[in-house]
Structure 1
Amino acid sequence: MEATTYKGNNKMITGIVFGVLTFWLFAQAMVNVVPAVQSDLGISLGTLNIAISLTALFSGIFIVAAGGLADQVGRKKITYVGLILSIIGSLCLVFTNGAFLLIVGRIIQGLSAACIMPSTIALMKAYFEGAERQRALSYWSIGSWGGSGVCSFAGGAIATYLGWRWIFIFSIVFALLALWLMKDVPESKGEKSRNKFDISGLIVFIITMVALNIFITQGADLGWTSALTLTLLVVAIIGIIIFIKIEKGKAGALIEFGLFKNKAYTGATISNFLLNAVAGTLVVANTYVQVGRGFTSFQAGILSLGYLVAVLGMIRVGEKILQRVGAKKPMVWGTILTVIGVGVMGLTFLPGITYTIIVFIGFALFGIGLGMYATPSTDTAVANAPDDKIGAASGIYKMASSLGGAFGVAISATVYASISAVSNVSLAASAGIAANVIFAVVALLSIIILIPNNTGLKENIVDERAMKG
């Protein structure tokens, strides 16, 4: 089957969504089964928290490299590598009896996600055009945003009725189905590059991100002014400076800074990082209602049901708005709703049932906002990248998702923990949520300033004319 004659179809979309779910639904579900895993394996909470965070961190660190590699050796090939890694990582978790296989499995799951995410977006770009591509990306977004919304309920239900290891047995099944559903998709590559793999850039990037992550997550325990904490901060700052210096203008760079010359791509990527950072709201709000309001974990989960339903319901709506008015307006509207939704959850001074209702509404607005934003943002990033660098561009865009989520949760949890240690949990929750409001406001400013008003409109007009012709 020739790549030039192949047209993307629903079978391909389903396979890709199943692949995306192996991370966003199943790997992410680990966050919600901490007591069960800790009880079963008999390991410390600190070790378990490290294992949980490693997946997002390794995904964020390696996703750009995997996206660039996909452009060179084949996007389907790297997707398959990711699915096989997902199976291996899940097997490690199914058979683990202690910390070692748990940590190894989580690292492998992070590498799996790094391979799957940019490669599948690049395949969508290669085999779908115009409105069809936007529809395909909507389903991709349902797999990612929707999967992350479902994971708390799915993971909790599976762990409760079957045992937590079954989460990863299901993940293996989905990965195998994805491999089968995508078998007829032809290979897709960018232009062959003569540049060597940027190993020096990757090493500096890894050191920088790990130092920054440890600084944020362990700073409170180590002491913010301790020698080790300050050393980590210095390493992170110097690492960022060195990384930018050695990467700028470098042939075959790990991060193609030239992509950021396109304002629309830059706006989509920055806002994507910041709105994924707002995920810290979920951690702070759920923790607060349990600690400060006496909710059970199940009751806390019910509060976020509106978020799940809204995200799933609004992703296709965001696609339709994109096709009618372009990308900027739904991205702005969605972010404003996110600011409002997150902001009202910080009103912790409200009494009993009033606060409960407000939080439920806040979660729903949060979901509506992110759902409206998702497809226009993804389409903007994909449409404004050169065809031969789609894998690398998608990798940077999805790196923003992973690292945004990892650092957003870390910052929010740190603010909450630091203030709750010296004050009441109500004030701590308000402060933790306020950090997320700041993330969302800066995201809104980046969209307003960087996304051109006609983004997404020109292509839709051309696509409609082609259909009529």
Structure 2
Amino acid sequence: MTATTVPATTPVERRPDRWLILAVICLVQLVVILDNTVLNVAVPSLTKELGATTAQTQWVIGAYSLAQAGMLIAAGGLADRYGRKLVQMLGLGLFGVGSLGGALSSTPGELIAARFGMGVGGSLLLATTIALVVRTFDAEEQPKALGAAMGVGSLGFALGPIIGGALLAHFWWGSVFIVNLPVCVLGLLAVARFVPESKDPQGERPDLLGALLSIVGLVAVVYAIIQGPGYGWTSGRTLAPGAIGVVFVVLFVLWERRTPHPLLDMSFFHNARFRGAVSGGVLVSFGMGGSLFLLTQHLQFVLGYGPLEAGLRTAPMALTIVLLNLTGTGMRITSKLPAPVAIAGGLSLMAGGLAAIAVLGRHGDYLGILLGLVLMGAGVACAQPAMAGSVMSSIPPEKAGVGSGLMGTLSELGNSLGVAVLGAVLTAGFAASLPAGVPQDAARSLPKALATAGPGRAHQVANAFADSLTSAQLIGAVAVLVGGLLAAWLIGRAVAGTPAGGGPVVEPEPATAA
């Protein structure tokens, strides 16, 4: 096992300002995650005021995730080699400049470019968040600190649509970007003042070729996944970037196995804890990302809520995570359990929640959806810290940035795949269930299918959509359950000696002067 541990007899000096450092890290993470969802409610305004097409508005949203997914591993390596504090400050600067560019954009193209720049800055920030936590807190306090960081992240997802809706009710669409600027300035000052610097003492030689291969490969793969539902999975516009991405990812793996100073050490995958956590995490992100994408359509198209109302009704999941993590309740429960049990139990709760949404919410019952969201939140609060700890404890502490970046990359890939695949399952099932005489291409949109079918068959079309939605949601639930069991099984086979809660066992390193 590659994790670095300290014997129980060795006293560990705790930084007196460690919780202040955590608060600064959480503030930085909050603004990045907030921007994953804050723009969703602004899409109608963008369409009207900038004259953006549907494809352009999709890229305004997608460019942010595309840049993050493509850059995270390289950003983690950059942080490990040159300093995690330095990279976090650079990320805040880029994120702030991108936000200002977004607010001042006058065309959809300018806004897409600004969002891409924000995504690059966001990747630098996300790649350092978990790394800084595990380098600041000792093994005993890391689960609590990770739980708090992840709780704040969940709060960002919940607050995004609410803050976006409130800003748009009183200001123009650019206000959703302007609000980032004071947070970026405050974050820069706080990071510069309080966050200690840390880096890999052996990391002077950068793996530039590895970084280039990883960026091109991941960007091309995620691009193909995003394009697939629109152009078709067998279209040249999907297959060509997908093939290029796969080739570059393979070249990246081959290069990392032979270079003496790899960006991502492939020997990490020899560790069963590492394999279990990352493989389970991909399936969980797949199921969660896809199912939550379907839930927004469920709330709007089946239950008839508006965009902001739908956003508010998804908040109970995030609020449950925040409540359990920030109060320490989730950590107290899972710290008494072995990591495989915590992960399997938490992800089983998540799968049960997704199934409850699919089955109990099928006939317009929000109480069933509420129950499902609470179960999902409880499951995330139990499983996420244990899974993050399993990844970070199975790699050398000097590679914490790469580990953090890899976790973020796999999460982005899983989310993108979940949205694309479960969205395709919904469309295929809906097309097969449409009444006779309704064209198959009408299945791409429920409003279009209803308009094509006419009033006489509207009820049949609505039922076909709800049935297809339920089937796709159940597939997402199965993916989460399989992911949880797979992760628990692989981690359970790992070398004995892991702390009961499955938390990271990386000890904090002495910080260099800021």
Give me the TM-score of the superposition, normalised by structure 2. 0.82
Match of 2:88 in 1: 79
Q: In structure 1, list runs of 5 or more residues that go unmatched.
A: 464-469
Q: Are residue 386 (structure 1) and residue 396 (structure 2) matched?
A: yes
Match of 2:481 in 1: 441
Q: Distance in 2 between matches of 1:210 and 1:262?
A: 27
Q: Distance in 2 between matches of 1:205 and 1:254?
A: 9
Encode CA deviations 1:102-126: one digit per residue, 9 max, x unaligned: 1121111111121112223222222
Q: Are residue 257 (structure 1) and residue 272 (structure 2) matched?
A: no
**Counterpart among 333, 357, 363 of residue 345 in structure 1:** 357
Q: Are residue 98 (structure 1) and residue 110 (structure 2) matched?
A: no
Deviates more, 1:384-393 or 1:4-13: 4-13
Q: Distance in 1 between matches of 2:505 and 2:228?
A: 52
Q: Distance in 1 between matches of 2:85 and 2:313?
A: 39
Task: After TM superposition, give the deviation of residue 140 of structure 1 in Å.
Answer: 1.3
The answer to whether the 8 Å contact 2:284/2:484 transfers is no
Match of 1:46 in 2: 55
| Paired amino acid for 2:78 | L
Q: Distance in 2 between matches of 1:214 and 1:419?
A: 25
* Helix, strand or coil at the partner of 1:313: helix
Q: 1:436 to 1:63 in 2, by over 3 A?
A: same
**What is the RMSD of the two structures over their aligned residues, measured on CA atoms?**
2.7
| Paired amino acid for 1:273 | V
Task: After TM superposition, give the deviation of residue 461 of structure 1 in Å.
Answer: 13
Encode CA deviations 1:284-341: one digit per residue, 9 max, x unaligned: 1221232233333344234323212212122233322233224332221110011111
The answer to whether the 8 Å contact 1:349/1:426 transfers is no
Q: Are residue 140 (structure 1) and residue 160 (structure 2) matched?
A: no
Task: After TM superposition, give the deviation of residue 33 of structure 1 in Å.
Answer: 2.1
Task: After TM superposition, give the deviation of residue 459 of structure 1 in Å.
Answer: 8.9
| Paired amino acid for 1:330 | A
Q: In structure 2, list runs of 5 or more residues that go unmatched.
A: 1-12, 434-463, 507-514
Q: Distance in 1 between matches of 2:505 and 2:214?
A: 40
Matches within 5 A, 1:65-464: 65-182=74-191, 183-199=193-209, 201-277=210-286, 278-315=288-325, 316-347=328-359, 350-352=362-364, 355-423=365-433, 424-452=464-492, 455-457=498-500
Q: Distance in 2 between matches of 1:462 and 1:290?
A: 44
* Helix, strand or coil at the partner of 1:33: helix
Encode CA deviations 1:12-54: one digit per residue, 9 max, x unaligned: 1121111101210134311232112222211112111112112
Q: Distance in 1 between matches of 2:116 and 2:97?
A: 11
Task: After TM superposition, give the deviation of residue 84 of structure 1 in Å.
Answer: 0.6
* Helix, strand or coil at the partner of 2:498: coil
Q: Distance in 2 between matches of 1:404 and 1:240?
A: 16
| Paired amino acid for 1:387 | P
| Paired amino acid for 2:100 | L
Encode CA deviations 1:177-203: one digit per residue, 9 max, x unaligned: 22222213331111233544232x344
Q: 1:454 to 1:310 in 2, by over 3 A?
A: farther
Q: Distance in 1 between matches of 2:501 and 2:477?
A: 33
Match of 1:28 in 2: 37
Q: 1:77 to 1:347 in 2, by over 3 A?
A: same
State how many pairs are aligned: 457
Q: 1:439 to 1:109 in 2, by over 3 A?
A: farther
Match of 1:14 in 2: 23
